[in-house]
Amino acid sequence: MLLVIVGGAATYVGVTDGLGFLSARVLPRTITAGIALAILGFVELTGVARSLRRTLMRTKKDPPSRHGHTDHHDRPRLWPLLLPFLLVPSALLSSTGSIAGNKPFVVAPGTDPAPTTIEDALDEALAPDPESFAEHGVTEFTMENFADLTAIAFGDPEFVQGRRVRLTGFVYRQEGWPETDFVVGRLSIWCCLADAALVGLLARGTEVAPERDRWVEIEGVLAVAHDYPLASENLESAPIVIIDSLRYVEAPEMEYVLPGGF
Amino acid sequence: MPHRADGAACAACAAGFLTASPCSVENRPMESNHRRAIHPALPYLLGGIVALWVFFILRSFNGIMAFRNTSAIFLSLMLEGFPFVLLGSLLASLVQEFVPTTVITGMGSRLGRARIPVVALSGFVLPICECAIVPTMRRLREKGLGLVDAITFLVAVPLINPVVIASTIVAFSDRPALILGRFLGGFAVILIVAGIFSLRERQRAGIAEVAVGTFRPRVAVGPRILHAVEHTAVEFVEVIGYYSVGAMLSAIVQAFVPVTSFFAFTDTILLAILAMIALAFLLSVCSEADAFIGRSFLGVMPEPAVLAFLVFGPMFDLKNLLLLRRVLSAREILLLVASLLVAVSVLGVVYASITV
């Protein structure tokens, strides 16, 4: 019985809010599993398999129905399992920003490709919309290229210096950062929310940093910064967006971005 | 498998039920082999975890947010894990049903020295996620798989399988040394752990593994498949109970433990390695995804430490610890943890000296 409910719940959540918890890559699996579970539970509940088996084996003798593995079910005790499904999942999703709070900030480490490779990488990252890439145009950060572009920018800040960018993300700050600095970030997930990593760009240019966890869209020019929060031995210089315009926006349909390399 | 203490076949099981029944307890070398579906302590464990969770929430700055975060992560872990646990349960049931014990117990004599490496590579044939590895291992043990082989299976399959290899290559395409390190080094760790358990087995002479026979009347394949399918449901319910406890713990760790605090331990390479091992244990990430999480650590932790994370993670973590208590004795678990800890640390240090 439990299986039917759990399977059904999983399928329902998967179909409605699945993308809030899982990447699109794994969602079909979960939905399939949910359906399979529900079917399995149904089969068990109604003893369909057992009667089918009996028919196939054509035994006159009635196998003791409560024998063997069906005996030792202590089923009721796992009902608490349903608890998370009962809490309306969509209500849980507005906390992207705070989940990011505990995650490490991915700075696309160690990729120091030669300039030609960066251009290739840029071309690839912008492939769906190559028009947006021009020295004087604006490079728009999308769900597909967000992680890649930030990786490229961190990989060689001088290379991307001077380009104009526009990106949407939530405001991320840590204690002790100067008021002028913050990160516009997104969570990139590979399979499920549990493996989310924070990616984004540093931004500067407002007198007071916007509110934490609020979603903003910024547009500005990339510069190279040497003194900024998160500076460390590994990361002497970083790209930073000098903001021209900033506005608060609603969280986008798809809050998460694809991890780099895709 | 159904035998009474006096060895006679249990007539009640003769009607074609081919799985273990409560009758067969006495013959087994393992303790507590009753086919209880759920360990009686599980509900209390669940309750305890929930209490812990509530405690953390009340203590945290923003209770509602904390509740949402942990619930979201927990739900995502559950949703993501369902397919794998289901698959693992199905596989375990099929093994239970179709793989004759003689194949498993005969493996030793047929393969000889090559046995351990072959088991280590069985992940290519049975790509099982960490989540479902323990029930499958248990089934194999019940069929008579030796302890050393089972341990090898446990640590090897979640690491050496096509899915993990693929995700590692994708995540670290610019660092081939790390990819090689993960798999070759991981393989070495597996051999070391297998070796340690082998030594122990030899020392414990006299405790023979009993080959448990499978009672097999002539039953057609059809009903057996159906039986396996039914049994999958049972298996699933069992495993998902433990898995959910592990997922809850993992969610709590993720939401409340600042991962970044682990990054402070960079004074020495060894300290960084140990910190990453600890993190791998606590985070209990699915072995498919930990390549990407590991990637995100590269900016703050040295490569050998990330390697340790990548090797240790699939082999052992909080989630599996709970599940393992049903298959291995406490001492065996301790030995496993200790050997893994030492082997992976050594690997990390060796890697550090090679690549610098």
In this structure, what token pair is assigned to residue A210? 């916007």
Tell whether A259 is within 8 A of chain B (Cβ): yes
Answer whether B237's CB lies under 8 Å from A2's CB: yes
DSSP conformational letter for B4: -
What residues in chain B have per-residue pLDDT under 70? 1-47, 56-66, 101-110, 112, 203-220, 299
Q: Which residue has the tokens 């929310």?
A: A193
Looking at residue A51, its amino acid is S
**Lowest-pLDDT choice from A87-96, A149-158, B142-151, B192-201:** A87-96
Contact B226 A52 (CB under 8 A): yes
Structure tokens at A119: 């251009």
Cα nearest neighbour of A109 on chain B: B299
In Å, how far is A133's CA from the nearest CA of chain B?
25
Contact A109 B299 (CB under 8 A): yes
C-beta atoms of A84 and B258 within 8 A: no
* CA-closest candidate to residue A100, choices A191, A183, A14: A183
Return the residue in B76, B226, B257, B309 with the most chain A beta carbons within 10 A, the one to mutate for interface testing. Answer: B76
Which is higher by pLDDT, B167 or A17?
Answer: B167
CB-CB under 8 Å, B171 with A69: no
Most B CBs within 10 Å, among A95, A237, A258, to test the B interface: A95
- C-alpha to C-alpha distance for B321 and B245, rounded to whole angstroms: 11
Please, what is the angle between helix B221-256 and helix B130-142, to 10°? 140
Least CB-CB distance to A68: which of B21, B244, B297?
A: B21
CA–CA dist B49, B146 (Å, integer): 33
What pLDDT does residue B256 have? 73
Q: Would you list the DSSP string of B211-268? A: PPP-------HHHHHHHHHHHHHHHHHHHHHHHHHHHHHHHHHHHHS-GGGGGG--SS
Model pTM above 0.90: no
Test B17 with A68 for CB contact under 8 angstroms: yes
| Residue of A96, A186, A195, A234 to mutate, testing the B interface (most B Cβ within 10 Å of its Cβ) | A195
Whether A50 and B12 lie within 8 Å, measured CB to CB: no
| Reported confidence tier of residue A157, pLDDT bands at 50, 70, 90 | confident
Query: Cα B63 from chain centroid?
Result: 33
Helix or strand or coil: residue B96?
helix
Residues of B in contact with A197 (CB under 8 A): 292-293, 295-296
State residue B228's pLDDT score: 78
Kindly provide the b/e burial profile for residues B154-193, where b requires at least 16 CB atoms within 10 angstroms of the residue's own CB: bbbbbbbbeebbebbebbbeebeebbebbbebbbbbbbbb
Per-residue pLDDT band at A66 (split at 50, 70, 90): very low
Domain A98-248 CATH superfamily = Nucleic acid-binding proteins (2.40.50.140)
By Cβ distance, the residue of A57, A103, A105 closest to B219 is A57
User: Does the pLDDT at position A7 exceed 80?
Assistant: no
What is d(CA A132, CA A138) in angstroms, rounded to the nearest whole number?
A: 6
**pLDDT of B24:** 38
By the CB < 8 Å criterion, does A176 face chain B?
A: no
DSSP, residue by residue, chain A: -HHHHHHHHHHHHHHHHHHHHB-TTTHHHHHHHHHHHHHHHHHHHHTHHHHHHHHHHT-SS---TT-GGGTT--GGGGGGGGHHHHS-GGGGGGGHHHHHTTSPBP--TT----HHHHHHHHHHHTTT-GGG-STTSEEEP-TTTHHHHHHHHHH-HHHHTT-EEEEEEEEE--TT--TTEEEEEEEE-SSBGGG-EEEEEEEE--SSPPPTT-EEEEEEEEEEESS-TT-BTTBS-EEEEEEEEEEE-PPPSS--BPPTT-
Confidence (pLDDT) at B1: 42
Contacts of B216 (CB under 8 A, 6+ apart): B18, B100
Best to test chain A binding among B23, B46, B56, B80 (most A CBs inside 10 Å): B80
Contact predicate B307/B181, CB 8 Å: yes
pLDDT, tens digit, for every residue of A192-239? 777 777 778 888 888 788 887 788 888 888 888 887 776 665 667 788
**B275 or A32, which is more confident:** B275
Q: Report the residue of A3, A15, A42, A57 to disrupt the B interface, i.e. the one with the largest count of B CBs within 10 Å.
A: A57
Question: Could you say which of B46, B82, B256 has the minimum Cβ distance to residue A10?
Answer: B82
Residues recorded for chain A: 262
- Residue A87 predicted with pLDDT over 50: yes
Q: Do A63 and B17 touch (CB under 8 A)?
A: yes
Query: What was the pLDDT predicted at B344?
Result: 94
Inter-helix orientation angle A2-21/A27-46, to 10°: 170
Kindly list the residues from chain B whose CB atom is less than 8 angstroms away from the CB atom of residue A172: none
Backbone angles phi and psi of A79, in degrees to 5: -60, -30
Complex ipTM > 0.85: no
Q: Alpha carbon A200 to chain centroid distance?
A: 13
Q: Does A258 or A240 have the greater pLDDT score?
A: A240
What's B304's DSSP letter?
Answer: H
Query: For chain A, which residues make up each domain, given as ranges?
Result: 2-87, 98-248
Chain A nearest C-alpha distance from B325 (Å): 19
The answer, for A202 touching chain B at a CB cutoff of 8 Å, is: no
Instruction: Return all residues near B353 (Cβ < 8 A) that are at least 6 apart.
Output: none
Q: Which of A18, A22, A36 sits opposite B86 (nearest CB)?
A: A36
Comparing CA positions, the residue from B20, B57, B19, B81 lying closest to residue B241 is: B81
Instruction: Quote the tokens at residue B66.
Output: 């904390």
Q: Which residues of B touch A53 (CB under 8 A)?
A: 222-223, 226-227
Question: What is the identity of the amino acid at B109?
Answer: S
pLDDT of residue A199: 79
What one-letter code names the amino acid at B356? Answer: V
* pLDDT confidence of residue B350: 92
Handedness of CA A134, A137, A142, A146 (dihedral sign): positive
> Would you state the pLDDT for residue B345?
93
